[in-house]
Chains A and B, each alone.
Chain A
Amino acid sequence: MLGALTVMTSSRPAHAAGGADEGCDLALLFEGLTFKQHEVFEMVSDNRTSKEIAARLGITESAVNQRIESVRLRAGSLPRAHLARCYREFRSTRSADWLRGAPVTHGAEPLHPHGSERAMAKSADVDMPSATSGLNRPLHRMLMILMIAATLMILAVGGLVVAHMLIKLQ
């Protein structure tokens, strides 16, 4: 991950926020994205709003914004529209390469359409756990509340029993 960023910064200078007319030199960044970030950026590159993306993926709008923002920060706070254009170019480049049967490789491993496994493992995705997002979100959250309560009650009862036994011993 750090290596990818180093290569990226050493080639062309980072774009300023207003440099939307310059070329897109973010291929290495996009190759290091997680599967969830690719999911979101595919729709961002189709000019969908965060609300639409959230509805399609079954997650909250804030989760979508969080995934976009984490990539924006790594790209040097580029505007969303610029990132969308760059991702569109990146996606079309990948498609063309795959059609030719010559996947682009960096290092020893061929790239998966949604980023290499090593890149996915390295990049930190700070989303909420999947059990708290999606269409069954309320049910999952209710189950988590019940599990927390059950664990706490077991600990409390266990503690009371131990305390009672200790008092009896005295």
Chain B
Amino acid sequence: MTIGFVFLGSAMTVSALLFGVALVRGTGPERLLAGTLFVSGLLEAFILWLGPSLKESVQEGMCLLLDLVLFAMILAIALRANRLYPLWLGGLQLVTLACHLADLSVMSGAKANAAMQWVPFCAQLMVMTWGLFANSTSRRRDPSWTT
């Protein structure tokens, strides 16, 4: 449980840092995506925190709904922005949605649920970091680079 909270806290700290960097150094798509990831991470953490007071099915339903909304937002940006990394964010979010729906026969229980929720999120944070760095480099190299 303690390890889980440490992991969760680290992921949220990185997410907040990325959002801050995107606000300062990024352009429209970077700010939207980083903000979306940060807010969705906060909301998922809040749902987990409410855990004992909610039915498991209600908790899972709320997480699924949140991930669906997150996928819709990432998709909208990925289809319009002239960047490659939102496609990876969309792919990872699809994986998260698939994990919601799939029955994991290899692992089950709280650990599997935690893994399927947070591993893709961590991968998304890494992709977002790459995207911010790549965009910053592109704009430094080519001043006419726009959204």
Contact assessment for B75 and A145 in the assembled complex, using a CB-CB cutoff below 8 Å:
yes
- Residues on A with C-beta less than 8 A from B143 are 69
Contact assessment for B94 and A149 in the assembled complex, using a CB-CB cutoff below 8 Å:
yes
Contact of B94 among A138, A145, A160 (CB under 8 A): A145
A68 within 8 A of B: yes
**Interface residues contributed by chain B, number (CB under 8 Å):** 22
B84 within 8 A of A: yes
Nearest chain B CB to A143 CB, angstrom units:
10
User: Which of B6-14, B16-24, B41-49, B85-93 touches A?
Assistant: B85-93
A62–B80 alpha-carbon span in the complex (Å): 12
Contact assessment for A153 and B106 in the assembled complex, using a CB-CB cutoff below 8 Å:
no
Contact assessment for B142 and A70 in the assembled complex, using a CB-CB cutoff below 8 Å:
yes
Contact assessment for A128 and B144 in the assembled complex, using a CB-CB cutoff below 8 Å:
no
Nearest chain B CB to A156 CB, angstrom units:
7
Nearest chain B CB to A37 CB, angstrom units:
14
Contact of A148 among B75, B90, B145 (CB under 8 A): B90
Contact assessment for A65 and B144 in the assembled complex, using a CB-CB cutoff below 8 Å:
yes
A63 within 8 A of B: yes
Nearest chain A CB to B94 CB, angstrom units:
4
Nearest chain A CB to B87 CB, angstrom units:
5
Interface residue tally of chain A, by bracket? 20 to 34
- Residues on A with C-beta less than 8 A from B147 are 62
Per the 8 Å Cβ criterion, residues 82-121 of B in contact with A are 82, 84, 87-88, 90-92, 94-95, 98, 104, 106-107
A62–B137 alpha-carbon span in the complex (Å): 15
Contact of A145 among B78, B98, B107, B144 (CB under 8 A): B78
- Residues on B with C-beta less than 8 A from A60 are 82
Contact of A68 among B79, B88, B106, B144 (CB under 8 A): B144
Contact assessment for B142 and A69 in the assembled complex, using a CB-CB cutoff below 8 Å:
yes
A144–B84 alpha-carbon span in the complex (Å): 10
Write the chain B residue with the least CB distance to A68.
B144
State whether A66 and B84 are in contact (beta carbons under 8 Å apart), knowing that A138-B79, A146-B94, A152-B95 are contacts in the complex. Answer: no
- Residues on B with C-beta less than 8 A from A132 are 82, 84
- Residues on B with C-beta less than 8 A from A73 are 142
- Residues on B with C-beta less than 8 A from A153 are 95, 98
State whether A149 and B95 are in contact (beta carbons under 8 Å apart), knowing that A65-B144, A65-B145 are contacts in the complex. Answer: yes
Per the 8 Å Cβ criterion, residues 128-169 of A in contact with B are 128, 132, 137-138, 141-142, 144-149, 151-153, 156, 160-161, 163-164
User: With A68-B144, A128-B82 given, can you name 6 additional A-B contacts, CB distance below 8 Å?
Assistant: A62-B82, A62-B147, A69-B144, A145-B94, A152-B92, A163-B106
Closest 4 CB pairs of A and B: A148-B91, A149-B94, A145-B90, A65-B144
Q: Which residues of B contact A (CB under 8 A)?
A: 75, 78-79, 82, 84, 87-88, 90-92, 94-95, 98, 104, 106-107, 142-147
